[in-house]
Amino acid sequence: MQMLGAWDGCPSVRGSTLLRVVLLLVTLLVVSLARAQDTSMVPVVVDGQSVRLEMRIYKPSTEGKVPTLVFNHGSTGNGRDPNLFTKSQDFPQLAQFFVQRGWAVVMPSRRGRGGSEGEYDEGFASDRSRGYTCEPSLSIPGADRALRDIEASIGAILTMPFVDPNRIVIGGQSRGGILSVAYAGQHPE
């Protein structure tokens, strides 16, 4: 009596299993490539205070200076859950899109966000447990504070050895997107 292996009697299952294994390996490869190649604590000075900001850095495998996307994170929803403040921000699919095209991507976290030092304070109500406010006397200074963090980040990023300072793009998600537009408006150069 001949014993058959688990898949020997089922050629269609054998081919299907092989396809699944190949797809799994390709998926794992893409996911591993999409993870931040480096997470650094970068020293900056903001409002006269020395702090270290967490930056996720993705770089292509090419040598020399490359165009760079600085991608800014959004807020934390309504701002009522302080546990979200220290959650690291990462957008690996976006980074992979740019890295595959020869770009670097740097994702800085503003003060008090992710692993960054300092207090997160971008337009909270007087009672912080109520989250963000639309009260201009509080929200506008919060946005200005965030813009100063972005300015300090850009200053540090421009000194990174792989960054071509003449080819920088700034963008972001949600609050990070509008802050990026505001920053670009303040710095048209």
Contacts of 107 (CB under 8 A, 6+ apart): 36, 55, 56, 57, 70, 71, 72, 73, 89, 90, 91, 95
pLDDT for residue 77: 86
Domains, the chain, with CATH or none = 37-186 (3.40.50.1820)
Confidence of residue 32 (pLDDT cuts 50, 70, 90): very low
Q: Using N-to-C axis directions, what is the helix angle for 136-158 and 175-186, rounded to 10°?
A: 70
Yes or no: say if 112 and 118 are a contact pair by the CB < 8 Å rule.
Answer: yes
pLDDT digits (tens, 9 = 90+) for 122-163: 999 999 999 999 999 999 999 999 999 999 999 999 999 999
Token pair of 84, please?
A: 């979200």
Average pLDDT over residues 68-73: 98
Q: What is the pTM of this model?
A: 0.80
- Which is more confidently placed, 69 or 7? 69
pLDDT for residue 5: 44
Q: Which has the minimum average pLDDT: 31-45, 64-78, 139-153?
A: 31-45
Tell me if residue 68 falls in helix, strand or coil: strand
Closest CA to 132 of 142, 147, 117, 144: 142
- Which is more confidently placed, 114 or 77? 114
Q: Using N-to-C axis directions, what is the helix angle for 11-34 and 92-99, rounded to 10°?
A: 90
Which ranges of 6-65 does DSSP label H, i.e. alpha helix? 11-34
Pairwise CA distance, residues 152 & 154, whole Å: 6
- Range picked from 5-9, 35-39, 81-85, 115-119 for highest mean pLDDT: 115-119
Mean model confidence pLDDT for the chain: 87
Yes or no: say if 56 and 39 are a contact pair by the CB < 8 Å rule.
Answer: yes
Average pLDDT over residues 43-60: 97
